[in-house]
């Protein structure tokens, strides 16, 4: 999502990411101009449902990340804070509320001409409870219907009662969308959307798997820029062609032994949402023959595979099986399995002030991977969108010391 480019992409197809993002926001505006419904949604909502019903899912979270990447988050955070929203609150929400309560969502100075007005608000507790509170604040302004899909945290495999909880709410949501938004649910279209979603997710996960190769074909900075279609477009055909091209290229790189970083020496993993205003953090590391080649945020937050022989069960499983909804034990088990697979030498935990659910349990995970795998970790204290929480000098010093430790360990 960053617009900053320091050096070329490892995969040529990655250059399409910016266009896809632009098209998405332009399509949203066009959809509204044509009188069709817009829902403001959040991460981990039942996205396939919206695409299949002709409801355009607009992601203010993504918009906040864009604002952060163009170095404008602070002004909107401050706007929200002046209106009484604490600076301890999620920075995505502060950016969004700052836009709404400041010059408004149609301010011509905003990227892509602003954010289309919502006809409905749909969110879920799957990533966090905060999202629900954010949407309540947004509803206070727009006075449109709000639906929240609830879920309790899971240990895999997902339990039947959790699945039924999820699906029961989806069955309630559908007629509400039909009556409030004037759309119609058609199961065949929904099942088609699930197929498209699963195909895209399969390609994405295969792409991530290519990064287990040594050297890794593509690093975190580039992949963070490529993830958007997985967040917002699952259930439409758009992500498939893009991910297919990325995967083909990555496989060619692996076959040719071509890495994203020359002379790759150290491999790292990353936990939590990146600092969108400072994706350079990743590329600065790459300059030192080090690559970030694994991210919990890219692997376990957005797209899961579905066994479509039982589509509704698969749909529920996929949406509940999300890192942010995992217990600490589940997170630890997952890392203990993935770190050897991706041959990681070290792990960086972003103790993200704004994504508390993500940050809970990180310290236990760090201890577990050190004790069980001998893999050391580093904590960076910062924020995903608010640059005021990031201390450049302190983080650089910590990172340098960590790299020295890993280099010494490798010798």
Partner 1 sequence: MIQAELNEILSDPLESTRQLSREGRRVIGYCDNYVPEEFIHAMGMVPVRLMGSAEHITLADSHLPIFAGQLSRSIFDQGLRGKLGHLAGVVLSNSSDAIRTLFDLWERHIPGQWVGLVDVPAVLQGETNRRVFGSAMLRFIEQLEKFGGHSLDPAELRRSIAVYNENRRLLKKAASLLGSRKLNADTYLDAVLSGFLMPKERHNGLLLQLLENAGTGQAGPDLLPLHISGPLLVDRSFLPLLEQCGATMTSEDLGTGSRYFWDEVSETGDPVAQVIDRYWNKVPESYKTPMEPRWLHFSARLGTGNAKGAIFVVERYSDEDQYDYPIFRDRLQQRGIPSLQLDAEFVLESEQARTRVQTFVEIVKGRVS
Q: Is residue 40 near partner 1 by the rule CB under 8 A? A: no
Q: Is residue 361 near partner 1 by the rule CB under 8 A? A: yes
Closest separation between CB of residue 146 and partner 1, Å? 8
Q: Is residue 136 near partner 1 by the rule CB under 8 A? A: yes
Q: Closer to partner 1 at the Cβ: 5 or 327?
A: 327
Answer for which of 134, 228, 242, 402 binds partner 1 (CB under 8 A) is: 134
Distances (CA, A) of 137 to 77, 85, 94, 213, 258: 15, 10, 11, 45, 49
Residue 313 CB burial class (10 angstroms; 0-12, 13-18, ≥19): middle
Q: Closer to partner 1 at the Cβ: 103 or 356?
A: 356
What 3 state SS string does the chain have?
A: CCCCCCCCCCCHHHHHHHHHHHHHHHHHHHHHHCCCCEEEECCCCCHHHHHHHCCEEECHHHHHHHHHHCCCHHHHHHHHHHCCCCCCCCHHHHHHHHHHHCCCCCCCCCHHHCCCCCCEEEEECCCCCHHHHHHHHHHHHHCCCEEEECCCCECCCCCHHHHHHHHHHHHHHHHHHHHHHCCCCCHHHHHHHHHHHHHHHHHHHHHHHHCCCCCCCCCHHHHHHHCHHHHHCECECHHHHHHHHHHHHHHHHHHHCCCCCCCCCEEEEEECCCCHHHCHHHHHHHCCCEEEEEEHHHHCCCCCCCCCCCHHHHHHHHHHCCHHHECHHHHHHHHHHHHHHCCCCEEEEEEECCCHHHHCCHHHHHHHHHHHHCCCEEEEEECCCCHHHCCHHHHHHHHHHHHHHHHHHHC
Binding mask 275-314 for partner 1 (x = CB under 8 A): ----------------------------------------
Q: Are 64 and 91 in contact (CB under 8 A)?
A: yes
Closest separation between CB of residue 147 and partner 1, Å? 9
Q: Are 242 and 227 in contact (CB under 8 A)?
A: no
Closest separation between CB of residue 343 and partner 1, Å? 27
Q: Is residue 351 near partner 1 by the rule CB under 8 A? A: yes
From 109-117, 144-152, 217-225, 229-237, give the range in contact with partner 1 by CB under 8 A.
144-152
Q: Closer to partner 1 at the Cβ: 285 or 365?
A: 365
Answer for which of 6, 171, 184, 396 binds partner 1 (CB under 8 A) is: 171
Answer for which of 307, 364, 400, 404 binds partner 1 (CB under 8 A) is: 364
Q: Is residue 137 near partner 1 by the rule CB under 8 A? A: yes
Distances (CA, A) of 259 to 10, 106, 212, 234: 8, 43, 11, 29
Closest separation between CB of residue 354 and partner 1, Å? 9
Binding mask 57-86 for partner 1 (x = CB under 8 A): --------------------------xxxx
Answer for which of 241, 328, 336, 405 binds partner 1 (CB under 8 A) is: 328
Interaction residues for partner 1, span 151-170 (CB under 8 A) = 152-153, 161, 164-165, 168-169
> For residue 6, how many other CB atoms are within 10 A of its CB?
12
Answer for which of 5, 19, 327, 391 binds partner 1 (CB under 8 A) is: 327
From 55-63, 130-138, 200-208, 219-227, give the range in contact with partner 1 by CB under 8 A.
130-138
Answer for which of 45, 53, 115, 130 binds partner 1 (CB under 8 A) is: 130
Binding mask 84-113 for partner 1 (x = CB under 8 A): xxx-xxx--x--------------------
From 11-19, 23-31, 150-158, 292-300, give the range in contact with partner 1 by CB under 8 A.
150-158
Closest separation between CB of residue 145 and partner 1, Å? 11
Answer for which of 189, 356, 388, 398 binds partner 1 (CB under 8 A) is: 356
Q: Point out which residues bind partner 1 (CB under 8 A).
A: 83-86, 88-90, 93, 125, 128-130, 132-134, 136-137, 140, 146, 148, 150, 152-153, 161, 164-165, 168-169, 171-172, 327-329, 351, 353, 356-357, 359-364
């Amino acid at each position: 999502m960053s617009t900053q480019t320091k050096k070329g992409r490892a995969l040529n197809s990655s250059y399409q990411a910016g266009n896809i993002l632009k098209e998405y926001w332009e399509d949203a505006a066009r959809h509204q101009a044509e009188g069709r419904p817009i829902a403001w949604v959040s991460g981990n909502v039942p996205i396939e449902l919206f695409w299949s019903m002709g409801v355009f899912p607009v992601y203010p979270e993504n918009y906040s990340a864009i604002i952060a990447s163009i170095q404008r988050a602070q002004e909107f955070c401050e706007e929200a804070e002046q209106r009484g929203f604490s600076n301890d609150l999620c920075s995505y929400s502060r950016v969004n509320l700052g836009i709404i309560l400041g010059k408004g969502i149609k301010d011509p100075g905003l990227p892509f001409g602003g954010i289309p007005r919502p006809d409905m608000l749909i969110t879920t507790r799957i990533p966090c409870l905060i999202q629900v509170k954010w949407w309540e604040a947004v509803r206070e302004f727009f006075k449109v219907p709000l639906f929240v899909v609830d879920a309790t945290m899971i240990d895999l495999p997902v339990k039947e009662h959790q699945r039924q909880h999820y699906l029961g709410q989806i069955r309630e949501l559908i007629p509400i969308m039909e009556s409030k938004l004037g759309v119609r649910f058609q199961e065949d279209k929904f099942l088609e959307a699930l197929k498209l979603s699963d195909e895209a997710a399969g390609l994405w996960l295969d792409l991530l798997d290519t990064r287990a190769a040594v050297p890794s074909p593509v690093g975190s900075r580039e992949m963070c820029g490529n993830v958007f279609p997985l967040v917002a477009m699952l259930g439409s055909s758009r992500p498939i062609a893009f991910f297919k091209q990325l995967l083909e290229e990555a496989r060619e790189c692996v076959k040719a032994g071509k890495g994203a970083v020359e002379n790759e020496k150290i491999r790292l993993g990353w936990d939590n949402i990146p600092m969108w205003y400072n994706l350079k953090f990743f590329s600065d590391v790459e300059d030192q023959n080090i690559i970030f080649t694994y991210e919990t945020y890219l692997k376990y937050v957005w797209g899961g595979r579905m066994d479509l022989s039982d589509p509704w069960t698969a749909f529920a499983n996929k949406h509940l099986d999300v890192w942010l909804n995992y217990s600490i034990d589940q997170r630890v088990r997952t890392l203990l399995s993935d770190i050897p697979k991706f041959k990681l030498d070290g792990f960086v935990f972003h103790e993200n002030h704004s994504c508390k659910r993500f940050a809970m349990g990180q310290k236990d995970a760090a201890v577990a991977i050190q004790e069980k795998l001998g893999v050391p970790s580093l904590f960076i204290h910062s924020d995903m969108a608010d640059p005021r929480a990031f201390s450049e000098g302190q983080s650089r010093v910590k990172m340098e010391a960590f790299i020295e430790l890993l280099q010494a360990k490798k010798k």
